[in-house]
């Protein structure tokens, strides 16, 4: 009796890729130019990495990349919904495309990502932006080729939103933004349900990739010239818990550290509640792991942290910071801070200022609280008036920025290994790169240095970046 082998999800999509590639080849032969695509990415590094996969599939289908939306035959918006202004930006872009779509009905407009996992967004698109051709979410990104074929063959809108994730699809075509560094997803989704955050609702529950798949991807990247990888997850510290044979994030780090040819390992984001002694030891022991940690505190008030469902206190966070600095004395710490969370008093705000002073962050991503429909915080009482929040935010920066300057001042005189990333946008003789402590460094050089790790002596501190000279 013959065993029937079902085609994999990737094999199915590859057939759709070939179909579109054939159509685009016929179009190029007839018109003497290729169809072009343009992908607009908003939000986090996870979204940026998703867009590399979207572009990879579109290029495989025979599209060329356009310089902007005006010149594209296919426009796709990969969206973010963490803050309200990110959504408004998307609606603004869709409104701008409306007239063009009316004049050029053959233009294909697609929207995907976190925004589209919300029912209210889908309703608004159907009501106000009904010219959008393809709508899909975060769980079925790999289906873009199939959805595109369906749209072209049917001539009508295709909307494919999943409420739950399916299996992880490996080996999607990917176009890297940089030759020398790359992001690598190690897990998807989040189980934390912080009360202000929409991510668990739009990205789903945690699921980890298999260790062997991660190692295989990184080895292939290294063989293609990658020197630095950024391991991505909403909470990398809880990596491996959903695997059939659980593996800790610390164990994964040690395995990646052994890959020949790889020179640097970064990761984000780390949730303080799951940062173990085992992980601190791995960061200390693994020579390729950068001496930098992004450790979001969000608030310095234990009362507010409880309302946020962060599951640690101010005291526990500070104990963790002390432990990290004791084991890795030269580490740089960055953080996320939200000002104006519902119920935040002046006393709570002062606790946040206190933790900034105690930890001394090298940089911080600071946000005014943004109410997100569907999160518990959106319906909490004691929403803070805008003028009070703005005043607190300004006062926080007044405390924070001098501390950042002080921390970065300690780098002056040191020699740092810098991964050269790009030519300065303001001076072609100035190069920009990152130290392994995440410091942004400008120095005189030439573009042939891009992708190399070189030694740079720090000679000046400009608070948010450093000035160096090549050794």
pLDDT tens for each residue of the chain, 471 residues long: 444 445 688 899 999 999 999 999 999 999 999 999 999 999 888 899 999 999 999 999 999 999 999 899 999 999 998 888 889 999 999 999 999 999 999 999 999 999 999 999 999 999 999 999 999 999 899 999 999 999 999 999 999 998 877 777 777 888 888 999 999 999 999 999 999 998 888 888 899 999 999 999 999 999 999 999 999 999 999 999 989 999 999 999 999 999 999 999 999 999 999 999 999 999 999 999 999 999 999 999 999 999 999 999 999 999 999 999 999 999 999 999 999 999 999 999 999 999 999 999 999 999 999 988 889 999 999 999 999 999 999 999 999 999 999 999 999 999 999 999 999 988 999 999 999 999 999 999 999 999 999 999 999 999 999 999 999
Of the CA atoms within 13 Å of residue 81, those in its CB half-sphere come to: 26
The pair of structure tokens assigned to 371 is 């109410």
CB 90, CB 115: distance < 8 Å: yes
Per-residue model confidence (pLDDT) at position 45: 87
Domains delineated in the chain: 9-160 (3.40.50.12160), 181-409 (3.80.30.20), 415-470 (2.40.50.140)
Per-residue model confidence (pLDDT) at position 347: 98
CB 54, CB 44: distance < 8 Å: no
Per-residue model confidence (pLDDT) at position 6: 53
Distances (CA, A) of 278 to 19, 209, 281, 283, 316: 49, 20, 5, 9, 17
CB 180, CB 225: distance < 8 Å: yes
Distances (CA, A) of 306 to 201, 302, 314, 393: 20, 6, 10, 21
For 119, other C-beta atoms within 10 Å of its C-beta total 12
CB 162, CB 140: distance < 8 Å: yes
Distances (CA, A) of 287 to 24, 282, 304: 47, 9, 37
Per-residue model confidence (pLDDT) at position 390: 97
- SS3 of residue 94 by DSSP: helix
CB 459, CB 442: distance < 8 Å: no
Compute the chain's Rg from CA coordinates: 23
CB 413, CB 458: distance < 8 Å: yes
CB 205, CB 189: distance < 8 Å: yes
Per-residue model confidence (pLDDT) at position 10: 85
How far does Cα 362 stand from its chain's mean position? Answer: 20
CB 250, CB 282: distance < 8 Å: yes
Per-residue model confidence (pLDDT) at position 330: 93
The rounded distance, in Å, linking the Cα atoms of 184 and 351 is 36
Per-residue model confidence (pLDDT) at position 195: 96
The rounded distance, in Å, linking the Cα atoms of 27 and 62 is 10
CB 415, CB 471: distance < 8 Å: yes
Beta strands in 291-444, from DSSP E residues, in sequence order: 292-294, 332-339, 363-368, 415-423, 430-435, 440-444
Per-residue model confidence (pLDDT) at position 85: 84
For 82, other C-beta atoms within 10 Å of its C-beta total 20
- SS3 of residue 41 by DSSP: strand
Residues 6+ apart with CB under 8 A from 96: none
């Amino acid at each position: 009796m013959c065993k029937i082998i079902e085609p994999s999800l990737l094999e199915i999509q590859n057939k759709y890729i070939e179909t579109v590639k054939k159509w685009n080849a016929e179009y190029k032969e007839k018109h003497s130019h290729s169809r072009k695509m343009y992908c607009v990415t908003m939000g986090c590094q996870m979204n940026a990495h998703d867009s590399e996969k979207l572009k990879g599939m579109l290029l495989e289908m025979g599209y060329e990349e356009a310089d902007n939306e005006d010149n594209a035959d296919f426009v796709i918006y990969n969206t973010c919904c963490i803050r309200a202004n990110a959504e408004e930006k998307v609606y603004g872009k869709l409104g701008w495309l409306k007239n063009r779509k009316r004049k050029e009905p053959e233009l294909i407009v697609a929207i995907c990502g976190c925004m589209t996992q919300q029912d209210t967004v889908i309703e608004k698109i159907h009501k106000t932006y009904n010219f959008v051709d393809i709508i899909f979410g975060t769980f079925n990104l790999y289906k873009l080729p199939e959805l595109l074929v369906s749209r072209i063959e049917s001539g009508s809108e295709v909307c494919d939103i999943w409420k739950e994730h399916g299996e992880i699809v490996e080996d999607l075509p990917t176009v890297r933004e940089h030759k020398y560094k790359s992001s690598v997803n190690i897990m998807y989704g989040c189980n934390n349900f912080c009360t202000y955050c929409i991510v668990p609702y739009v990205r789903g529950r945690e699921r980890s990739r298999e260790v062997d798949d991660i190692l295989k991807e990184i080895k292939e990247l290294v063989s293609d010239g990658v020197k630095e990888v950024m391991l991505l997850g909403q909470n990398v510290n809880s990596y491996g818990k959903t695997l059939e044979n659980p593996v800790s994030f610390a164990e994964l780090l040690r395995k990646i550290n052994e890959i020949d040819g790889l020179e640097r390992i970064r990761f984000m984001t780390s949730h303080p509640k799951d940062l173990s002694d085992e992980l601190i030891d791995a960061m200390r022991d693994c020579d390729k792991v950068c001496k930098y940690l992004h450790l979001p505190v969000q608030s310095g008030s234990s009362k507010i942290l409880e309302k946020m469902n962060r599951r640690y206190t101010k005291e526990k966070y500070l104990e963790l910071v002390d432990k990290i600095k004791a084991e890795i004395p030269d580490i740089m710490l960055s953080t996320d801070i939200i000002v104006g969370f519902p119920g935040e008093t002046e006393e709570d705000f002062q606790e946040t200022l206190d933790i900034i002073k105690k930890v001394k962050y090298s940089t911080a991503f600071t946000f005014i609280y943004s109410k997100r429909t569907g999160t518990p915080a959106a319906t909490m009482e004691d929403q803070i008036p805008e003028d009070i929040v703005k005043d607190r935010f300004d006062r926080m920066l007044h405390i924070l920025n001098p501390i950042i300057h002080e921390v970065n001042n300690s780098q002056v005189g040191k020699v740092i290994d810098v991964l050269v990333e790009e030519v300065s946008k303001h001076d072609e003789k100035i190069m920009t790169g990152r130290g392994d402590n995440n410091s942004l460094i400008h120095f005189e050089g030439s573009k042939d240095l891009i992708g190399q790790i070189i030694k740079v002596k720090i000679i000046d501190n400009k608070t948010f970046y450093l000035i160096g000279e090549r050794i």
